[in-house]
Chain A
Amino acid sequence: MSYTRIYAIFLRQLFLLKSNPTRLSSIFLALIVNIFQWGFISKFLGSLGESTFSFITVILGAIILWEFLSRTQQGIMRGFLEDIWTQNFINYFASPLEIREYLGGLVLTSIAISMAGFGIMVPIAGLAFGYNIFRIGLLLLPFMFILFVFGIAMGIFVSALIFRLGPSGEWLGWPLPLVLSIFSGVYYPISTLPAALQVVAELMPPCYVFESIRSILSTGTFSQDLLMNLLIGAGLSLIYLLVVYKFFITIYRHNLKSGAIARFNAEAL
Protein backbone atom coordinates (compact mmCIF):
# COMPACT_ATOMS: atom_id res chain seq x y z
CA MET A 1 0.00 0.00 0.00
CA SER A 2 1.51 3.30 -1.10
CA TYR A 3 0.31 6.62 0.33
CA THR A 4 1.99 8.42 -2.58
CA ARG A 5 -0.25 6.64 -5.05
CA ILE A 6 -3.35 7.27 -2.91
CA TYR A 7 -2.35 10.94 -2.90
CA ALA A 8 -1.92 10.82 -6.72
CA ILE A 9 -5.53 9.70 -7.17
CA PHE A 10 -6.72 12.41 -4.79
CA LEU A 11 -4.58 15.05 -6.48
CA ARG A 12 -5.98 14.19 -9.90
CA GLN A 13 -9.49 14.92 -8.59
CA LEU A 14 -8.27 18.12 -6.97
CA PHE A 15 -6.72 19.27 -10.26
CA LEU A 16 -10.06 18.65 -11.96
CA LEU A 17 -12.00 20.63 -9.37
CA LYS A 18 -9.53 23.51 -9.51
CA SER A 19 -9.46 23.65 -13.28
CA ASN A 20 -13.18 23.83 -13.82
CA PRO A 21 -15.46 25.81 -11.46
CA THR A 22 -18.59 24.25 -12.99
CA ARG A 23 -17.62 21.01 -11.25
CA LEU A 24 -17.66 22.83 -7.91
CA SER A 25 -21.02 24.42 -8.61
CA SER A 26 -22.53 21.07 -9.60
CA ILE A 27 -21.35 19.61 -6.28
CA PHE A 28 -22.35 22.46 -3.96
CA LEU A 29 -25.23 24.27 -5.65
CA ALA A 30 -27.86 21.60 -4.96
CA LEU A 31 -26.70 21.45 -1.37
CA ILE A 32 -27.10 25.21 -0.81
CA VAL A 33 -30.50 25.19 -2.53
CA ASN A 34 -31.62 22.35 -0.26
CA ILE A 35 -30.65 24.24 2.89
CA PHE A 36 -32.60 27.32 1.81
CA GLN A 37 -35.58 25.37 0.54
CA TRP A 38 -35.96 23.21 3.65
CA GLY A 39 -35.11 26.14 5.89
CA PHE A 40 -38.00 28.17 4.50
CA ILE A 41 -40.36 25.18 4.49
CA SER A 42 -39.50 24.52 8.16
CA LYS A 43 -39.98 28.17 9.00
CA PHE A 44 -43.37 28.16 7.33
CA LEU A 45 -44.46 24.95 9.09
CA GLY A 46 -43.28 26.42 12.38
CA SER A 47 -45.44 29.46 11.85
CA LEU A 48 -48.65 27.39 11.53
CA GLY A 49 -50.81 27.33 14.67
CA GLU A 50 -49.17 27.30 18.08
CA SER A 51 -46.71 24.54 17.43
CA THR A 52 -44.26 23.86 20.23
CA PHE A 53 -42.21 21.66 17.90
CA SER A 54 -39.18 23.26 16.28
CA PHE A 55 -39.27 22.16 12.66
CA ILE A 56 -36.10 24.06 11.86
CA THR A 57 -34.17 22.23 14.55
CA VAL A 58 -35.27 18.80 13.38
CA ILE A 59 -35.47 19.25 9.61
CA LEU A 60 -32.37 21.38 9.03
CA GLY A 61 -30.20 19.12 11.17
CA ALA A 62 -31.43 16.12 9.21
CA ILE A 63 -30.86 17.87 5.87
CA ILE A 64 -27.31 18.86 6.77
CA LEU A 65 -26.40 15.34 7.84
CA TRP A 66 -28.16 13.67 4.92
CA GLU A 67 -26.42 15.97 2.45
CA PHE A 68 -23.14 15.11 4.19
CA LEU A 69 -23.83 11.42 3.48
CA SER A 70 -24.91 12.14 -0.12
CA ARG A 71 -21.74 14.18 -0.83
CA THR A 72 -19.65 11.35 0.60
CA GLN A 73 -21.29 8.85 -1.76
CA GLN A 74 -21.07 11.21 -4.72
CA GLY A 75 -17.46 12.09 -3.93
CA ILE A 76 -16.50 8.50 -4.67
CA MET A 77 -18.87 8.02 -7.58
CA ARG A 78 -17.88 11.29 -9.29
CA GLY A 79 -14.19 10.48 -8.99
CA PHE A 80 -14.81 7.04 -10.47
CA LEU A 81 -16.91 8.51 -13.29
CA GLU A 82 -14.18 11.03 -14.16
CA ASP A 83 -11.90 8.08 -14.90
CA ILE A 84 -14.60 6.42 -16.98
CA TRP A 85 -15.34 9.57 -18.97
CA THR A 86 -11.63 9.98 -19.79
CA GLN A 87 -11.15 6.20 -20.36
CA ASN A 88 -8.28 6.30 -17.91
CA PHE A 89 -8.43 2.81 -16.43
CA ILE A 90 -5.85 1.34 -18.79
CA ASN A 91 -3.34 4.02 -17.72
CA TYR A 92 -4.08 3.49 -14.05
CA PHE A 93 -4.24 -0.26 -13.87
CA ALA A 94 -1.21 -0.81 -16.10
CA SER A 95 0.75 1.27 -13.58
CA PRO A 96 1.83 -0.02 -10.13
CA LEU A 97 -1.44 1.32 -8.72
CA GLU A 98 -3.30 -1.28 -6.67
CA ILE A 99 -7.07 -1.40 -6.56
CA ARG A 100 -7.16 -0.65 -2.80
CA GLU A 101 -4.92 2.39 -3.38
CA TYR A 102 -7.28 3.57 -6.11
CA LEU A 103 -10.27 3.23 -3.78
CA GLY A 104 -8.25 4.90 -1.01
CA GLY A 105 -7.70 7.91 -3.27
CA LEU A 106 -11.41 8.11 -4.03
CA VAL A 107 -12.23 7.91 -0.30
CA LEU A 108 -9.80 10.77 0.36
CA THR A 109 -11.54 12.78 -2.36
CA SER A 110 -14.91 12.08 -0.83
CA ILE A 111 -13.67 13.18 2.63
CA ALA A 112 -12.58 16.50 1.13
CA ILE A 113 -15.85 17.00 -0.75
CA SER A 114 -18.15 16.00 2.11
CA MET A 115 -16.25 18.11 4.66
CA ALA A 116 -16.26 21.11 2.31
CA GLY A 117 -20.01 20.63 1.84
CA PHE A 118 -20.51 20.42 5.60
CA GLY A 119 -18.39 23.54 6.03
CA ILE A 120 -20.65 25.41 3.61
CA MET A 121 -23.99 24.17 4.97
CA VAL A 122 -23.33 24.87 8.65
CA PRO A 123 -22.71 28.63 8.39
CA ILE A 124 -25.58 29.07 5.89
CA ALA A 125 -28.00 27.31 8.26
CA GLY A 126 -26.67 29.44 11.13
CA LEU A 127 -26.78 32.80 9.38
CA ALA A 128 -30.04 32.33 7.48
CA PHE A 129 -32.08 30.36 10.01
CA GLY A 130 -30.25 30.65 13.33
CA TYR A 131 -29.65 26.91 13.37
CA ASN A 132 -26.60 25.54 15.14
CA ILE A 133 -25.91 21.86 14.40
CA PHE A 134 -23.25 21.77 17.14
CA ARG A 135 -25.97 21.97 19.78
CA ILE A 136 -26.14 18.17 19.36
CA GLY A 137 -22.75 18.26 21.07
CA LEU A 138 -20.03 15.64 20.82
CA LEU A 139 -22.57 13.07 19.65
CA LEU A 140 -22.27 14.74 16.28
CA LEU A 141 -18.98 12.88 15.82
CA PRO A 142 -20.34 9.31 16.03
CA PHE A 143 -23.37 10.37 13.98
CA MET A 144 -21.12 11.72 11.25
CA PHE A 145 -18.88 8.65 11.45
CA ILE A 146 -21.82 6.31 10.80
CA LEU A 147 -23.09 8.42 7.90
CA PHE A 148 -19.60 8.80 6.46
CA VAL A 149 -18.86 5.06 6.50
CA PHE A 150 -22.25 4.27 4.99
CA GLY A 151 -21.77 7.00 2.36
CA ILE A 152 -18.46 5.45 1.37
CA ALA A 153 -20.08 2.02 1.19
CA MET A 154 -22.81 3.44 -1.06
CA GLY A 155 -20.23 5.17 -3.27
CA ILE A 156 -18.18 2.00 -3.69
CA PHE A 157 -21.32 -0.03 -4.36
CA VAL A 158 -22.49 2.30 -7.12
CA SER A 159 -18.98 2.45 -8.60
CA ALA A 160 -18.91 -1.36 -8.65
CA LEU A 161 -22.26 -1.38 -10.46
CA ILE A 162 -20.94 1.09 -13.03
CA PHE A 163 -17.78 -0.99 -13.38
CA ARG A 164 -19.93 -4.05 -14.14
CA LEU A 165 -22.77 -2.53 -16.15
CA GLY A 166 -20.81 0.14 -18.01
CA PRO A 167 -21.07 3.92 -17.92
CA SER A 168 -24.85 3.82 -18.23
CA GLY A 169 -24.85 2.42 -14.68
CA GLU A 170 -24.30 5.95 -13.39
CA TRP A 171 -28.03 6.57 -13.79
CA LEU A 172 -28.56 4.15 -10.93
CA GLY A 173 -26.07 6.06 -8.80
CA TRP A 174 -27.46 9.57 -8.87
CA PRO A 175 -30.91 8.82 -7.42
CA LEU A 176 -29.66 6.27 -4.88
CA PRO A 177 -29.53 8.68 -1.88
CA LEU A 178 -33.05 9.82 -2.70
CA VAL A 179 -34.33 6.24 -2.73
CA LEU A 180 -32.54 5.34 0.51
CA SER A 181 -33.82 8.49 2.22
CA ILE A 182 -37.30 6.95 2.16
CA PHE A 183 -36.14 4.15 4.45
CA SER A 184 -33.64 6.13 6.50
CA GLY A 185 -36.05 8.22 8.54
CA VAL A 186 -34.39 11.45 7.50
CA TYR A 187 -37.53 13.59 7.50
CA TYR A 188 -39.90 11.48 9.62
CA PRO A 189 -39.73 8.76 12.31
CA ILE A 190 -39.60 5.26 10.84
CA SER A 191 -42.77 4.44 12.80
CA THR A 192 -44.50 6.48 10.07
CA LEU A 193 -43.61 3.76 7.54
CA PRO A 194 -45.76 0.65 6.96
CA ALA A 195 -44.58 -2.34 9.02
CA ALA A 196 -42.89 -4.08 6.05
CA LEU A 197 -40.87 -0.98 5.20
CA GLN A 198 -39.87 -0.55 8.84
CA VAL A 199 -38.00 -3.86 8.56
CA VAL A 200 -36.06 -2.43 5.60
CA ALA A 201 -35.44 0.78 7.56
CA GLU A 202 -33.87 -1.19 10.39
CA LEU A 203 -31.22 -2.41 7.96
CA MET A 204 -30.29 1.19 7.10
CA PRO A 205 -27.53 2.62 9.32
CA PRO A 206 -28.68 6.25 8.83
CA CYS A 207 -32.06 5.41 10.37
CA TYR A 208 -30.31 4.88 13.74
CA VAL A 209 -28.68 8.29 13.44
CA PHE A 210 -31.84 10.21 12.59
CA GLU A 211 -33.98 8.39 15.15
CA SER A 212 -31.36 9.22 17.78
CA ILE A 213 -31.21 12.89 16.80
CA ARG A 214 -35.00 13.23 17.04
CA SER A 215 -34.95 11.54 20.42
CA ILE A 216 -32.20 13.79 21.78
CA LEU A 217 -33.89 16.94 20.50
CA SER A 218 -37.26 15.99 21.95
CA THR A 219 -36.10 14.64 25.35
CA GLY A 220 -32.86 16.54 25.72
CA THR A 221 -31.18 13.46 27.24
CA PHE A 222 -28.93 10.64 26.10
CA SER A 223 -30.21 7.20 27.08
CA GLN A 224 -28.82 3.65 26.96
CA ASP A 225 -31.15 2.96 24.00
CA LEU A 226 -29.37 5.66 22.06
CA LEU A 227 -26.02 4.08 22.76
CA MET A 228 -27.33 0.80 21.39
CA ASN A 229 -28.66 2.67 18.33
CA LEU A 230 -25.23 4.10 17.69
CA LEU A 231 -23.53 0.73 18.06
CA ILE A 232 -25.99 -0.96 15.68
CA GLY A 233 -25.68 1.89 13.15
CA ALA A 234 -21.87 1.82 13.27
CA GLY A 235 -21.77 -2.00 13.09
CA LEU A 236 -24.10 -2.11 10.09
CA SER A 237 -22.13 0.60 8.28
CA LEU A 238 -18.87 -1.26 8.72
CA ILE A 239 -20.42 -4.53 7.56
CA TYR A 240 -21.80 -2.85 4.43
CA LEU A 241 -18.39 -1.29 3.74
CA LEU A 242 -16.66 -4.65 3.99
CA VAL A 243 -19.25 -6.37 1.78
CA VAL A 244 -19.19 -3.71 -0.97
CA TYR A 245 -15.38 -3.64 -0.94
CA LYS A 246 -15.38 -7.39 -1.62
CA PHE A 247 -18.05 -6.81 -4.28
CA PHE A 248 -15.89 -4.17 -5.99
CA ILE A 249 -12.85 -6.48 -5.97
CA THR A 250 -14.97 -9.28 -7.46
CA ILE A 251 -16.13 -6.99 -10.28
CA TYR A 252 -12.54 -5.82 -10.87
CA ARG A 253 -11.38 -9.44 -11.18
CA HIS A 254 -14.27 -10.20 -13.52
CA ASN A 255 -13.23 -7.24 -15.71
CA LEU A 256 -9.62 -8.42 -15.70
CA LYS A 257 -10.85 -11.68 -17.22
CA SER A 258 -13.33 -10.15 -19.65
CA GLY A 259 -10.94 -7.46 -20.90
CA ALA A 260 -13.29 -4.65 -19.87
CA ILE A 261 -10.53 -2.68 -18.14
CA ALA A 262 -8.57 -2.28 -21.35
CA ARG A 263 -11.57 -1.19 -23.40
CA PHE A 264 -13.96 0.30 -20.90
CA ASN A 265 -16.67 2.12 -22.78
CA ALA A 266 -20.39 1.95 -23.28
CA GLU A 267 -20.14 -0.04 -26.49
CA ALA A 268 -17.90 -2.71 -24.99
CA LEU A 269 -20.27 -3.73 -22.24
Chain B
Amino acid sequence: MGNETVLAISGLTKKYGSIKAIDDISFCVSSGNIIGLLGPNGAGKTTTINMVLGILEPTQGLIEIFGKNLREHRSTISKDINFVAVYAHMPANLTVRQNLYIFGLLYKVRNLKERITSLLHEFDLEGFADTKAGLLSSGESSRLNLAKALMNHPRLLLLDEPTASLDPSMSQLIRQRIKEYAEETKAAILWTSHNMQEIEDVCDHVLFLSHGRILLSGNPKILPSEHGKRDLEELFITVAREPLSFEQ
Protein backbone atom coordinates (compact mmCIF):
# COMPACT_ATOMS: atom_id res chain seq x y z
CA MET B 1 0.00 0.00 0.00
CA GLY B 2 1.33 3.44 -0.89
CA ASN B 3 1.12 6.32 1.53
CA GLU B 4 0.36 9.35 -0.57
CA THR B 5 -3.33 10.02 -1.13
CA VAL B 6 -3.71 10.71 -4.83
CA LEU B 7 -7.49 10.98 -5.06
CA ALA B 8 -9.73 12.01 -2.16
CA ILE B 9 -13.47 12.21 -2.70
CA SER B 10 -15.76 13.44 0.04
CA GLY B 11 -19.52 13.87 0.09
CA LEU B 12 -19.74 13.64 -3.69
CA THR B 13 -23.27 14.02 -5.02
CA LYS B 14 -24.61 14.41 -8.53
CA LYS B 15 -28.25 15.21 -9.11
CA TYR B 16 -30.13 15.39 -12.41
CA GLY B 17 -33.27 17.24 -11.41
CA SER B 18 -34.67 15.23 -8.51
CA ILE B 19 -32.74 12.07 -9.43
CA LYS B 20 -29.56 11.40 -7.47
CA ALA B 21 -27.09 9.67 -9.77
CA ILE B 22 -24.43 9.80 -7.07
CA ASP B 23 -25.48 10.10 -3.45
CA ASP B 24 -22.92 11.39 -0.97
CA ILE B 25 -20.01 9.04 -1.63
CA SER B 26 -16.55 9.34 -0.09
CA PHE B 27 -13.39 7.35 -0.71
CA CYS B 28 -9.65 7.72 -1.25
CA VAL B 29 -7.17 6.18 -3.65
CA SER B 30 -3.50 6.09 -2.66
CA SER B 31 -0.46 5.84 -4.88
CA GLY B 32 0.27 2.29 -6.03
CA ASN B 33 -3.32 1.17 -5.31
CA ILE B 34 -5.72 -0.27 -7.84
CA ILE B 35 -9.28 0.34 -6.70
CA GLY B 36 -12.20 -1.41 -8.39
CA LEU B 37 -15.45 0.47 -8.78
CA LEU B 38 -18.19 -2.11 -9.21
CA GLY B 39 -21.90 -2.02 -9.67
CA PRO B 40 -24.73 -2.81 -12.04
CA ASN B 41 -25.46 -0.66 -15.09
CA GLY B 42 -26.66 2.76 -13.99
CA ALA B 43 -25.09 2.44 -10.53
CA GLY B 44 -23.04 5.61 -11.04
CA LYS B 45 -19.56 4.29 -11.92
CA THR B 46 -19.13 6.29 -15.14
CA THR B 47 -20.71 9.35 -13.52
CA THR B 48 -18.08 9.15 -10.77
CA ILE B 49 -15.24 8.72 -13.29
CA ASN B 50 -16.51 11.65 -15.37
CA MET B 51 -16.57 13.89 -12.30
CA VAL B 52 -13.00 12.88 -11.44
CA LEU B 53 -11.99 13.64 -15.04
CA GLY B 54 -13.48 17.12 -14.66
CA ILE B 55 -15.95 16.76 -17.53
CA LEU B 56 -18.99 16.58 -15.25
CA GLU B 57 -19.61 19.04 -12.48
CA PRO B 58 -20.72 17.60 -9.13
CA THR B 59 -23.81 19.03 -7.48
CA GLN B 60 -22.10 18.78 -4.09
CA GLY B 61 -18.93 17.47 -2.56
CA LEU B 62 -15.23 17.80 -2.99
CA ILE B 63 -12.75 16.09 -5.31
CA GLU B 64 -9.11 16.55 -4.38
CA ILE B 65 -6.38 15.18 -6.60
CA PHE B 66 -2.70 15.45 -5.58
CA GLY B 67 -3.99 17.54 -2.67
CA LYS B 68 -5.58 20.16 -4.95
CA ASN B 69 -9.23 21.00 -5.48
CA LEU B 70 -10.15 19.73 -8.95
CA ARG B 71 -12.66 22.49 -9.53
CA GLU B 72 -10.02 25.19 -9.08
CA HIS B 73 -7.01 23.46 -10.65
CA ARG B 74 -8.46 21.23 -13.38
CA SER B 75 -5.96 22.08 -16.11
CA THR B 76 -2.90 21.68 -13.85
CA ILE B 77 -4.18 18.44 -12.31
CA SER B 78 -5.12 16.96 -15.71
CA LYS B 79 -1.47 16.98 -16.78
CA ASP B 80 -0.90 14.02 -14.44
CA ILE B 81 -4.14 12.14 -15.08
CA ASN B 82 -5.25 10.05 -18.02
CA PHE B 83 -8.03 7.65 -18.82
CA VAL B 84 -9.36 4.86 -20.98
CA ALA B 85 -13.10 4.52 -21.45
CA VAL B 86 -14.99 2.06 -23.57
CA TYR B 87 -17.08 4.93 -25.01
CA ALA B 88 -14.18 7.34 -25.70
CA HIS B 89 -12.32 6.50 -28.87
CA MET B 90 -9.47 8.29 -30.55
CA PRO B 91 -10.65 10.35 -33.56
CA ALA B 92 -11.22 7.74 -36.25
CA ASN B 93 -10.11 9.99 -39.11
CA LEU B 94 -6.54 10.49 -37.83
CA THR B 95 -3.81 7.87 -38.02
CA VAL B 96 -2.44 6.15 -34.93
CA ARG B 97 0.71 8.28 -35.06
CA GLN B 98 -1.21 11.53 -35.65
CA ASN B 99 -3.51 10.79 -32.70
CA LEU B 100 -0.61 10.12 -30.38
CA TYR B 101 1.15 13.26 -31.60
CA ILE B 102 -1.89 15.50 -31.03
CA PHE B 103 -2.57 14.12 -27.54
CA GLY B 104 1.14 14.28 -26.77
CA LEU B 105 1.03 18.00 -27.52
CA LEU B 106 -2.10 18.47 -25.42
CA TYR B 107 -0.38 16.79 -22.45
CA LYS B 108 2.91 18.55 -23.32
CA VAL B 109 4.85 15.29 -23.35
CA ARG B 110 8.61 15.83 -23.50
CA ASN B 111 10.65 14.23 -26.30
CA LEU B 112 7.34 13.46 -27.95
CA LYS B 113 8.62 11.72 -31.08
CA GLU B 114 10.77 9.34 -29.04
CA ARG B 115 7.87 8.72 -26.66
CA ILE B 116 5.56 7.88 -29.57
CA THR B 117 8.13 5.48 -31.05
CA SER B 118 8.47 3.78 -27.69
CA LEU B 119 4.66 3.52 -27.18
CA LEU B 120 4.16 2.14 -30.70
CA HIS B 121 6.73 -0.54 -29.91
CA GLU B 122 5.41 -1.24 -26.42
CA PHE B 123 1.82 -1.73 -27.61
CA ASP B 124 2.73 -3.56 -30.78
CA LEU B 125 1.30 -0.78 -32.95
CA GLU B 126 4.34 -0.13 -35.18
CA GLY B 127 2.66 -1.83 -38.14
CA PHE B 128 -0.41 0.39 -37.72
CA ALA B 129 1.34 3.72 -37.12
CA ASP B 130 0.04 5.19 -40.38
CA THR B 131 -3.34 3.46 -40.29
CA LYS B 132 -6.40 5.55 -39.48
CA ALA B 133 -7.72 4.78 -36.00
CA GLY B 134 -11.17 4.03 -37.41
CA LEU B 135 -9.77 1.06 -39.33
CA LEU B 136 -8.29 -0.67 -36.29
CA SER B 137 -9.79 -3.81 -34.75
CA SER B 138 -11.17 -3.67 -31.19
CA GLY B 139 -7.92 -5.06 -29.80
CA GLU B 140 -5.73 -2.63 -31.75
CA SER B 141 -8.02 0.24 -30.82
CA SER B 142 -7.80 -0.69 -27.12
CA ARG B 143 -4.02 -0.78 -27.37
CA LEU B 144 -4.06 2.68 -28.96
CA ASN B 145 -6.34 4.00 -26.19
CA LEU B 146 -4.00 2.59 -23.58
CA ALA B 147 -0.93 3.99 -25.35
CA LYS B 148 -2.57 7.42 -25.28
CA ALA B 149 -3.55 6.93 -21.63
CA LEU B 150 0.03 6.15 -20.57
CA MET B 151 1.81 8.66 -22.78
CA ASN B 152 2.00 11.39 -20.11
CA HIS B 153 3.08 8.93 -17.36
CA PRO B 154 -0.11 9.62 -15.36
CA ARG B 155 -0.01 9.43 -11.58
CA LEU B 156 -3.76 8.77 -11.58
CA LEU B 157 -5.22 6.48 -14.22
CA LEU B 158 -8.98 6.11 -14.66
CA LEU B 159 -10.12 3.00 -16.49
CA ASP B 160 -13.78 2.67 -17.39
CA GLU B 161 -14.24 -0.90 -18.63
CA PRO B 162 -10.90 -0.92 -20.43
CA THR B 163 -11.22 -4.54 -21.55
CA ALA B 164 -14.89 -4.56 -22.55
CA SER B 165 -15.42 -6.24 -25.95
CA LEU B 166 -11.92 -7.74 -25.97
CA ASP B 167 -11.13 -11.43 -26.27
CA PRO B 168 -9.66 -13.14 -23.16
CA SER B 169 -6.13 -13.13 -24.55
CA MET B 170 -6.17 -9.41 -25.34
CA SER B 171 -7.86 -8.62 -22.00
CA GLN B 172 -5.11 -10.49 -20.21
CA LEU B 173 -2.41 -8.55 -22.10
CA ILE B 174 -4.01 -5.21 -21.28
CA ARG B 175 -4.49 -6.17 -17.62
CA GLN B 176 -0.89 -7.29 -17.40
CA ARG B 177 0.38 -4.05 -18.86
CA ILE B 178 -1.68 -1.92 -16.49
CA LYS B 179 -0.56 -3.94 -13.48
CA GLU B 180 3.06 -3.55 -14.55
CA TYR B 181 2.54 0.19 -14.97
CA ALA B 182 1.06 0.50 -11.46
CA GLU B 183 3.94 -1.49 -9.97
CA GLU B 184 6.64 0.43 -11.85
CA THR B 185 5.31 3.94 -11.29
CA LYS B 186 3.21 3.61 -8.12
CA ALA B 187 0.37 5.28 -9.99
CA ALA B 188 -3.09 5.19 -8.44
CA ILE B 189 -5.72 3.46 -10.55
CA LEU B 190 -9.51 3.54 -10.44
CA TRP B 191 -10.91 0.69 -12.49
CA THR B 192 -14.50 -0.18 -13.43
CA SER B 193 -15.41 -3.51 -14.94
CA HIS B 194 -18.19 -6.06 -15.10
CA ASN B 195 -15.64 -8.85 -15.25
CA MET B 196 -15.36 -10.02 -11.64
CA GLN B 197 -12.44 -12.33 -12.34
CA GLU B 198 -10.55 -9.36 -13.74
CA ILE B 199 -11.33 -7.26 -10.68
CA GLU B 200 -10.22 -10.04 -8.34
CA ASP B 201 -7.04 -10.40 -10.35
CA VAL B 202 -5.97 -6.74 -10.43
CA CYS B 203 -7.63 -4.77 -7.64
CA ASP B 204 -6.37 -4.25 -4.11
CA HIS B 205 -9.69 -2.93 -2.93
CA VAL B 206 -13.22 -2.70 -4.33
CA LEU B 207 -16.20 -0.41 -3.83
CA PHE B 208 -19.68 -1.66 -4.68
CA LEU B 209 -21.98 1.06 -5.97
CA SER B 210 -25.72 0.77 -6.26
CA HIS B 211 -28.13 3.61 -7.02
CA GLY B 212 -25.29 6.07 -6.58
CA ARG B 213 -24.28 4.88 -3.10
CA ILE B 214 -21.35 2.82 -1.86
CA LEU B 215 -22.90 -0.30 -0.33
CA LEU B 216 -19.80 -2.37 0.32
CA SER B 217 -16.07 -2.00 0.25
CA GLY B 218 -13.11 -4.21 0.98
CA ASN B 219 -10.54 -6.63 -0.32
CA PRO B 220 -11.99 -8.44 -3.36
CA LYS B 221 -10.42 -11.70 -2.26
CA ILE B 222 -12.05 -11.83 1.16
CA LEU B 223 -15.16 -9.64 0.72
CA PRO B 224 -17.33 -12.45 -0.75
CA SER B 225 -16.71 -14.82 2.16
CA GLU B 226 -17.39 -12.01 4.65
CA HIS B 227 -20.89 -11.82 3.17
CA GLY B 228 -21.43 -15.55 2.84
CA LYS B 229 -20.85 -15.68 -0.91
CA ARG B 230 -18.74 -18.06 -2.96
CA ASP B 231 -17.02 -15.45 -5.07
CA LEU B 232 -17.13 -11.83 -6.22
CA GLU B 233 -19.54 -12.62 -9.05
CA GLU B 234 -22.12 -14.06 -6.66
CA LEU B 235 -21.69 -11.06 -4.40
CA PHE B 236 -22.09 -8.73 -7.38
CA ILE B 237 -25.33 -10.44 -8.43
CA THR B 238 -26.73 -10.16 -4.91
CA VAL B 239 -25.78 -6.48 -4.67
CA ALA B 240 -27.35 -5.82 -8.06
CA ARG B 241 -30.60 -7.68 -7.30
CA GLU B 242 -31.02 -7.06 -3.58
CA PRO B 243 -29.21 -3.82 -2.81
CA LEU B 244 -31.44 -3.16 0.19
CA SER B 245 -29.98 -6.17 2.02
CA PHE B 246 -26.66 -4.32 2.11
CA GLU B 247 -28.00 -0.92 3.13
CA GLN B 248 -26.48 0.20 6.42
Write out the residue numbers on chain B whose beta carbons fall within 8 Å of the beta carbon of A86.
89, 91-93
A136 at the interface (CB under 8 A from B): no
- A90 near B78 (CB under 8 angstroms)? no
The answer to whether B183 has its CB under 8 Å from any CB of chain A is: no
Residues of A within 8 A of B57 (CB): 253, 256-257
- For the complex, give the distance between the alpha carbons of A203 and B50 in Å: 42
Interface pair A94/B93, CB less than 8 Å apart: no
Which secondary structure dominates where chain A touches chain B? helix
Question: What CA separation (Å) do A94 and B77 show in the bound complex?
Answer: 10
Answer whether A19 and B93 are a contact pair too, CB < 8 Å, given A5-B106, A8-B105. Answer: yes
B166 within 8 A of A: no
> In the complex the two chains form, is B89's CB within 8 Å of A94's CB?
no
CB-based contact B93/A16 at 8 Å: yes
In the complex, chain B residues whose CB is within 8 Å of the CB of A15: 94-95, 98, 102
B87 touching A263, Cβ below 8 Å: yes
Given contacts A12-B94, A90-B88, A96 and B55 within 8 Å (CB-CB): no
Question: Which of the four size classes fits the interface of chain A?
Answer: 20 to 34
A124 interface residue (CB < 8 Å to B): no
Q: Does the CB pair A11–B105 fall under 8 Å?
A: yes
Convert B50-87 into 0s and 1s, putting 1 for each residue whose CB lies closer than 8 angstroms to a CB of A: 10011111000000000000000001101101010101
Query: A95 and B107 in contact (CB under 8 A), knowing A20-B93, A90-B55?
Result: yes
Which residue in chain B gives the minimum CB-CB distance to A257? B57
A123 at the interface (CB under 8 A from B): no
Is A261 close to B, CB under 8 A?
A: yes
User: Can you add 13 more A-B contacts, CB < 8 Å, to A4-B105, A19-B93, A86-B93?
Assistant: A5-B108, A12-B91, A12-B102, A15-B98, A16-B93, A82-B91, A91-B103, A92-B106, A93-B54, A94-B55, A96-B76, A96-B78, A256-B56
